[in-house]
Structures are given as C-alpha cells and as structure tokens.
A = this chain, B = another copy of it.
Amino acid sequence: MEYGFGIDIGGTTVKLGCFQRDGQLMDKWEIPTNRDNGGVSILPDVAESIRAYIRSHALSDSHILGAGMGVPGPVEQDGTVNRCINLGWGVFNAAETLSGLLNMPVRAGNDATVATLGEMWQGGGRGFRNVVLLTLGTGVGGGVVIDGDIVYGTTGAAGEVGHLCVNPEETECCNCGNAGCLEQYASATGIVHMYEKALSSYPGQTVLSDESLYSRPITAKDIFDAAKANDGFARSLVARYTHYLGLACSYIGDIVNPEVFVIGGGVSHAGSILLEGTEAAYQKYVFHACRNAKFRLAALKNDAGIYGAAKLIL
C-alpha cells in the first residue's frame, strides 16, 4: 500500500489527511495555525505532525509518495508563494521548504485551485477533465483545471474569479481595492450587504424586515430560506446574486469552455435555487457553443482541500 499526505493551510487551522493512492482517506486531523513571527513555525509544525503520524502508524518511508499542500494565496507552479496575508508569509518556496523538513517530495498550489482538483478527483467534478470550482463563502474563490491540470497563471493568480468586475458602474470598493467585483454581490457577506442597502426602499412586505423573527443579524442563509418560501424581496436579492454569478460564469465559459462548474462554500448549501438561477443567467450570457456546461454542487465540503492537495502528489 502506498500513501500520500494532503495539507490544507488555513488562517486558523491546518487540516491534514493521509490518503491511499486510489483516493481513499485513511485519517484526517487538524492542528492550529501559528501565525506568530510571520508564520515561521507553520511548516515546521506541519512537518512534526506528519512525522508523528508516520511514527505512530509505523508507515515505511518507501510507501510514502509525498505530500501536497494548499495555501491561501497565489502560488506559482514551482511552489513559490507570492505573499500570503492571512499567514503573514512573504515570497518564498513553500514546497521546497516543507520538502526539506519532511525529506519527501512536496508540491503546492493555491487553496481554491487545489480544492478544484479535489472535487474533480473525488467530488462533484468526478469524471470530468475541464472543471471550474467556485467557492461561495465570506469571499468568492475559484480554481481552474484544464485537461486534468491546474492552471496556475503567471503569478499564481489564475482563478481569481471573485474579483471579476461584474458591475463597472459600482462606486463602493471591494476589499481588493477595485469596485464592482463579483465578491461584492455573490458572497455570503455580499448578499447581506445588498439586503441592507435595498431593504428601506423595498415597497412591499417581506419577512426579512420583521426583526422580531430574528434575534440576530440577517444571514445569507436567512435570505435564501426566505426566497425558497417565496418572499418577493428575498427572491429579488437571490435573483441579483445569481445574475452576477451566472454572468461571471459566462466569462469563464467563453474563455476556457469547461465541462462543469462545481459550486462549493457555505452559500452552496442553498442548493437548487442557487444552481438553477446561476445556470439560467449563464445560459443568457455565454457564447452558444459553451452552453452545454453542467452546474453541480461540491461534494467534499471542507475536505476538498486535503483531497486536492493529496492529488497533487498521488
């Protein structure tokens, strides 16, 4: 039996998994991310945790194929990280560094892109070779896999679909400094922001204005739930959400013409109302030869990162 490790480095925890070559997850665990001193101990902590696992399971070195790693920032094909604000990392070769610590082959990629590989291998994109993943959470991330290979891009920034400018008229700024980014509308925070801006001018009745029903701030889930219950205001917000998301998918379709869009992240739990609206907007805007792309929900949830990271090496 041969093994590989998948590592998904996040701002608060590092997820780790030990996989068999065929994709079977043997074990998964987490360690805290220590961001002190520019995150210098993150990779040593990861190496120590993996070595401890190897010892306790008495795995033979000759059966270990290596480790893959997803990093929350731009990563070039050779493993060079181009700054990682969430971890405090600057520019250095993270794959080489961890490989030196573990004495095994290591490859690295951007976390969203690596998750795309995971969903293609064992999740919602299984059976496809041209896959785009969109993760709809606090922000919007994405990854592009063409013909089975990750598209890294020149500076490791391919798949930055959250910053596609879907509304050039927008005057409010995105966190990135631009204005009109997909993430400003089609994220969990984006739809809540659209709700806050539109509520006072909505002429009809809506369950979302009844503060007694919610003893806490309205969330993206509340809005999608209200839309499913046919609340007109909530439906208009979801329509705007899916309009922008489908428009962005049409850009991806026209440029790389994927077989399948896999939709993940917290907002994807909204399910078919999200998929159907997004696909309708995609069909409206995309070039006719790209209309047969499929829309699927992600299947691996928070494990997509460790699956894809392991796939980098297996």
A-side interface residues toward B, CB under 8 Å? 74, 77, 82, 130, 144, 146-147, 151-161, 163-165, 168, 176-178, 180, 247, 250-252, 254-259, 284-290, 292-293
Q: Which of the listed residues A247, A258, A288, A289 has the most CB atoms from chain B within 10 Å of its own CB?
A: A289
A158–B255 CB distance below 8 A? yes
Besides A153-B290, A154-B258, 10 more A-B contacts (Cβ < 8 Å) are A144-B256, A146-B151, A154-B257, A154-B290, A155-B290, A156-B289, A163-B286, A165-B251, A176-B287, A178-B288
The docked-state distance in angstroms from the alpha carbon of A254 to that of B157 is 7
Minimum C-beta distance from A7 to chain B (A): 23
- Which residue of B151, B153, B285, B289 contacts A155 across the interface (Cβ within 8 Å)? B289
The 5 listed contacts between A and B (C-beta, < 8 Å) are A77-B147, A157-B254, A164-B251, A165-B250, A178-B288
8 residue pairs, one from A and one from B, having the closest CB atoms:
A153-B257, A157-B289, A163-B287, A158-B257, A251-B251, A165-B285, A160-B287, A154-B259
The docked-state distance in angstroms from the alpha carbon of A258 to that of B254 is 16
The docked-state distance in angstroms from the alpha carbon of A155 to that of B287 is 11
- Which residue of B160, B254, B284, B286 contacts A254 across the interface (Cβ within 8 Å)? B160
The docked-state distance in angstroms from the alpha carbon of A71 to that of B261 is 28
Minimum C-beta distance from A202 to chain B (A): 22
Say how many copies of this protein the assembly contains: 2
The docked-state distance in angstroms from the alpha carbon of A50 to that of B279 is 47
Instruction: Determine the chain B residues whose CB is within 8 A of the CB of A176 once the complex forms.
Output: 287-288
**Chain B residue with Cβ nearest A181:** B287
B155–A292 CB distance below 8 A? yes
Instruction: Determine the chain B residues whose CB is within 8 A of the CB of A151 once the complex forms.
Output: 146, 256-257
Minimum C-beta distance from A160 to chain B (A): 5
The docked-state distance in angstroms from the alpha carbon of A298 to that of B157 is 25
B256–A289 CB distance below 8 A? no
Instruction: Determine the chain B residues whose CB is within 8 A of the CB of A77 once the complex forms.
Output: 147
**Chain B residue with Cβ nearest A248:** B251
A160–B285 CB distance below 8 A? no
B82–A157 CB distance below 8 A? no
The docked-state distance in angstroms from the alpha carbon of A75 to that of B258 is 14
**Chain B residue with Cβ nearest A73:** B289
**Chain B residue with Cβ nearest A146:** B151
**Chain B residue with Cβ nearest A281:** B168
